[in-house]
């Protein structure tokens, strides 16, 4: 049996590491993070690294806005270059209904301090000259949005954790969690048992079975999302280009175009295989959006998991089991929220209160009220 700890974090993706780092910054003494694989094996290492404040629900806009601001300072804070580039996010509107939705979203975002704007097709083309503006009726743009490199963010947090005395145990799987009958928890791992005063479940799409071990039922569903990368090209566009139909593409620092399109009819699965349907769907979407991509070679393809909730909003904070916390259900945008989610969870555990109200993200909401789905999913 290892020495008892104050907080055990399950999962060393961007969320778990951010929680652990922020806890250590607030002075929490003994923190252990358990990761069953290597750093980046989960969704974080498979994500696009996109960061945006353009959302449709007020509580998400506020959380994402603050997280984007945190990303602006993250390299300096961690002493590690996370390569956050603010080329903006360009949301494409294909029909009148989407134009109406986007205008509504821009009004709400502006009222909450996010300076997004609606663009006519020719204005979008000025921003991205290779865009097929004949295919769209408008777009929205927010220049503070952008992308960071996920390995940079993970390693930045991991190194900062190590400096602050946090123990990050890779290749250590949490196989069972139980109460010790004295207000603490016992985590049974494949490398021995550990007693902890608190647990934070940050295991991405695998959070549900871990929560279940303590009798906490969470309404999350694993969904496969695929991505691909082309050969590197000379840089020719800056923003992340996305649509409400699930298309996304951006150009990395190396010049590859990375992204994908949603394949209709995907059923809940933990499978991480890559599909030919996805390849075809993405090729169709991208060449319509940007005909110049027609003759570009695709080099690699991969898949990861979204951890979807009924309202496509995260589940954050303490559960009815005292000392047992959740940071999961990110529904496809957990990378961008991680700096604030880590800070807020740490505040709740250390101080019992948070600088932003996280009650809208409580597990309780699914029991006590009718929830509304976030509309700006990609
Ligand atoms: C193709 C794709 C593109 C995406 N693009 C974006 C994007 O542009 N922007 C954005 O914000 N989000 C994006 N996302 C979503 C984003 O990747 C996730 O929301 C985010 O990475 C979640 O981070 P996490 O740390 O919560 O989970 P993860 O990164 O999945 O980390 C959880 C960790 O827990 C570990 N674990 C699980 N079970 C156990 C156990 N029993 N014991 C020990 N360890 C365990 C796993 O191995 C894993 O490393 C994308 C996702 C995909 C699949």
CB 216 within 8 A of CB 203: no
Ligand 1 centre from 144 Cα, in Å? 23
| Backbone φ and ψ of 342, nearest 5° | -60, -45
The per-residue pLDDT for 101 is 97
Ligand 1 centre from 343 Cα, in Å? 18
Q: State which ligand 1 atom lies nearest to the alpha carbon of 189.
A: 42
The per-residue pLDDT for 266 is 85
Span between the terminal Cα atoms of the chain, in Å = 44
Residue in 49, 146, 204, 270 to alter for ligand 1 test, most ligand atoms within 8 A of Cβ: 204
Instruction: Report the largest interatomic distance among the alpha carbons of the chain, rounded to a whole angstrom.
Output: 66
Segment (H or E) for 348: helix 334-351
Which pair of structure tokens corresponds to residue 317?
């904070």
| 3-class DSSP state of 217 | coil
| Average pLDDT over all residues of the chain | 97
Residue in 266, 272, 332 to alter for ligand 1 test, most ligand atoms within 8 A of Cβ: 332
CB 224 within 8 A of CB 269: yes
Q: What tens digit of pLDDT does each residue of 52-108 get? A: 999 999 999 999 999 999 999 999 999 999 999 999 999 999 999 999 999 999 999
- What percent of the chain has pLDDT above 90? 98
The per-residue pLDDT for 265 is 85
User: Which protein residue's CA is at the shortest distance from atom 15 of ligand 1?
Assistant: 332
Q: What tens digit of pLDDT does each residue of 235-270 get? A: 999 999 999 999 999 999 999 999 999 998 889 999
Q: Mean pLDDT, to the nearest integer, of 279-288?
A: 97
């Amino acid at each position: 049996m290892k020495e008892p700890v104050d907080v055990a974090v399950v999962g060393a993706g961007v969320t778990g590491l951010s929680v652990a780092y922020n806890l250590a910054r607030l002075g929490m003494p003994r923190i252990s993070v358990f990761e069953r694989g290597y750093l980046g094996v989960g969704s974080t290492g498979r994500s696009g690294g996109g960061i945006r404040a353009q959302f449709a629900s007020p509580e998400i806009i506020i959380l994402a806005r603050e997280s984007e601001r945190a990303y602006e300072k993250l390299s300096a804070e961690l002493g590690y270059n996370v390569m956050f580039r603010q080329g903006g996010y360009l949301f494409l509107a294909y029909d009148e209904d989407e134009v109406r939705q986007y205008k509504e979203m821009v009004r709400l975002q502006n009222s909450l301090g996010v300076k997004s704007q609606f663009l006519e097709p020719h204005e979008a083309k000025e921003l991205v000259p290779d865009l097929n503006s004949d295919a769209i009726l408008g777009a929205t743009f927010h220049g503070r949005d952008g992308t960071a490199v996920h390995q940079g963010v993970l390693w930045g947090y991991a190194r900062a954790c190590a400096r602050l005395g946090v123990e990050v145990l890779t290749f250590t799987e949490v196989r069972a969690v139980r109460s010790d009958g004295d207000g603490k928890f016992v985590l049974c791992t494949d490398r021995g048992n550990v007693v902890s005063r608190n647990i934070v479940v940050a295991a991405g799409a695998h959070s549900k079975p871990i929560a279940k071990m303590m009798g906490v039922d969470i309404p999350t569903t694993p969904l496969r999302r695929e991505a691909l990368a082309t050969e590197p090209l000379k840089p020719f566009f800056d923003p992340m280009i996305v649509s409400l139909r699930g298309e996304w593409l951006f150009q990395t620092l190396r010049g590859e175009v990375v992204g994908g399109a949603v394949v209709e009819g995907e059923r809940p699965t933990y499978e991480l295989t890559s599909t030919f349907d996805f390849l075809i769907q993405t090729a169709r979407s991208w060449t319509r959006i940007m005909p110049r991509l027609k003759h570009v070679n695709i080099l690699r393809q991969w898949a990861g998991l979204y951890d979807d909730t009924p309202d496509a909003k995260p589940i954050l904070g303490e559960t009815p089991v005292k000392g047992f916390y959740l940071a999961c259900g990110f529904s496809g945008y957990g990378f961008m929220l991680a700096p604030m989610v880590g800070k807020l969870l740490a505040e709740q555990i250390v101080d019992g209160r948070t600088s932003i109200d996280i009650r809208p993200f409580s597990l309780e909401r699914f029991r006590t009220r009718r929830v509304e789905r976030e509309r700006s999913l990609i």
